[in-house]
Structure 1
Amino acid sequence: MAGGNAIRGSRVGAGPMGEAERGEAAPRRFVSFWCSNGHETRPSFAEEPGLAVPEQWDCPRCGFPAGQDRDNPPAPPKVEPYKTHLAYVKERRSDEDGAAILEEALESLRGRGLIQ
């Protein structure tokens, strides 16, 4: 017997983790959720009184929202494309407004002698 170390090869927290040490598992129920791509997800929830199951769950396969109604899943989120600053300005101003602002700026620069 070399050294007589009884816990050789162990680490903190290691050991048998049976039901006797952890306690009894809480009763669970599985709920099915479907996304608009037809993927089914079945997370489990504890059966506790007053514990509500969420109406929507994120699909782990595609990331779309999933609901409990297989025939009417929630619609996927609408993703708007990236807009530049110029695109936002064009939404607020007409071409005539832009021409007037440009002419005003040019007149200001001409008045200061910066352009001819």
Structure 2
Amino acid sequence: MASGSAIRGSRVGAGPMGEAERGDAAPRVWISYWCANGHETRPSFAEEAAAEAPETWDCPRCGFPAGQDQENPPSPMRNEPYKTHLAYVKERRSAEDGEAILDEALAALRARRRGGVR
């Protein structure tokens, strides 16, 4: 006699997964999107939601934005290089402003040192 259970390989709650249990599937529409690399992506939407489908879709292959016009796909977004804190400061302040702030800070530091406070 073989040992084991008659429901071996099943889990609690497992049963037939058919349309009868879940109900009827909504009618689907597939919309094509193309990226700048020529990749086609075809996500499916419910017929009711197809009128509100997004204009762009991220390409799952390269990550570029994809549009519905195959001849004129959207151009890839330009990545800005990483900026340091100093680069952001230089955008906000001119060299003259920086010199003035530095002179002010040095004067305050020298005054504290003359006063004996370190």
Q: TM-score, normalising length from structure 1?
A: 0.77
Moved more, 94-103 or 19-28: 19-28
**1:1-116 aligned within 5 A:** 6-48=6-48, 52-113=52-113
Once the 2 structures are TM-superposed, how far is the Cα of residue 67 of structure 1 from its aligned partner?
A: 0.8
Q: Please report the RMSD computed on the Cα atoms of aligned residues, expressed in angstroms.
A: 2.7
Distance change >3 Å, CA 92–CA 10, structure 1 → 2: closer
Q: TM-score, normalising length from structure 2?
A: 0.76
Deviations 1:48-88 (A, max 9, x none): 37752221111111111111000111121222111111111
Residue type of the alignment partner of 2:46:
A
Moved over 6 A (4+): none
Residue type of the alignment partner of 1:80:
E
Moved more, 50-59 or 61-70: 50-59
Residues of 2 paired with 1:60 and 1:105: CA distance?
A: 52
Residues of 2 paired with 1:78 and 1:2: CA distance?
A: 65
Q: Which runs of 5+ in 1 are unaligned?
A: none
SS of equivalent residue, structure 2 residue 103: helix
SS of equivalent residue, structure 2 residue 12: coil
Q: Which runs of 5+ in 2 are unaligned?
A: none
Residues of 2 paired with 1:60 and 1:49: CA distance?
A: 21
- More helix per residue: 2
Residues of 2 paired with 1:49 and 1:57: CA distance?
A: 15
Once the 2 structures are TM-superposed, how far is the Cα of residue 2 of structure 1 from its aligned partner?
A: 6.1
Residues of 2 paired with 1:82 and 1:75: CA distance?
A: 21
Identity %: 75
Residue type of the alignment partner of 1:78:
R
SS of equivalent residue, structure 2 residue 25: coil
Residue type of the alignment partner of 2:107:
E
